[in-house]
């Protein structure tokens, strides 16, 4: 195990099974609807790549990149750094996310995409950390992989200072790594 990891919270095998479960549910809901899967960069890339390879109905993919400004993400000020490259008006859209944490990102992306008048808009998040939710954010993901405790998690796309995204599992970072 990577030396900065205190414990493995979700193993590769548990992730693999969950991806299959989530993709099965999406395959049922979106069969024949030509959905567009939208990923919010960069944390989602690993989950996104695994998910769409389990989708067995014709679909499209696209990406957005957003960032928070004016301090920490808890300020809730979000800007679009990269917008979608396809028109989603009248289309069935599924937002894929790696983690629903304070909720600032998903809350912004959901409202932003809703403004583009899709036929439907749903959210599939691998992780949900409800203890961190900012008051007033009430969005409920349509599909959730794992509800996790309020621990600093990295791996499978999630980073600390841009590192650890490549770990194949989701691990809890040792506090000394981020407290220094
Ligand atoms: C992470 C993660 C989510 C967001 C969730 O992205 O990928 O998009 O934070 O947190 P929130 O619910 O508090 O908004 P981050 O902004 O760290 O960028 P990254 O995806 O490039 O790692």
pTM of the model: 0.95
| Chain center to CA of 108 | 13
Quick one: which atom of ligand 1 is closest to the CA of 68?
16
Report CA-CA distances (Å) from 168 to 12, 15, 25, 55, 114.
6, 9, 23, 21, 33
pLDDT in tens, the chain (180 residues): 889 999 999 999 999 999 999 999 999 999 999 999 999 999 999 999 999 999 999 999 999 999 987 555 455 689 999 999 999 999 999 999 999 999 999 999 999 999 999 999 999 999 999 999 999 999 999 999 999 999 999 999 999 999 999 999 999 999 999 987
Q: What is the largest CA-CA distance in the chain?
A: 51
Ligand 1 proximity of 105 Cβ (cutoff 6 Å): yes
- Catalytic residue of the set 98, 101, 107, 128: 101
C-alpha gyration radius of the chain = 16
Q: Is the CB of 156 under 6 A from ligand 1?
A: no
Does the annotation count 101 as an active-site position?
yes
């Amino acid at each position: 195990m990577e030396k900065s990891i205190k414990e493995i919270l979700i193993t590769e095998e548990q992730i693999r099974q969950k991806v299959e479960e989530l993709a099965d549910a999406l395959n049922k809901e979106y069969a024949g609807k030509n959905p567009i899967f939208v990923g919010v960069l960069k944390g989602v890339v690993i989950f996104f790549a695994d998910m769409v390879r389990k989708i067995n109905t014709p679909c499209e993919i696209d990406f957005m990149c957003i960032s928070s400004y004016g301090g920490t993400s808890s300020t809730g000020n979000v800007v679009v750094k990269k917008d979608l490259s396809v028109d989603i008006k009248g289309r069935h859209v599924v937002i894929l996310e790696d983690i629903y944490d304070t909720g600032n990102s998903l809350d912004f992306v959901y409202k932003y995409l809703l403004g583009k008048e899709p036929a439907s808009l749903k959210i599939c998040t691998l992780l949900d950390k409800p203890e961190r939710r900012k008051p007033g954010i009430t969005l409920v993901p349509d599909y959730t992989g794992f509800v996790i405790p309020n621990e600093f998690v990295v791996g499978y796309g999630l980073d600390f200072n841009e590192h650890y995204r490549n770990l194949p599992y989701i691990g809890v970072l040792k506090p000394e790594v981020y407290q220094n």
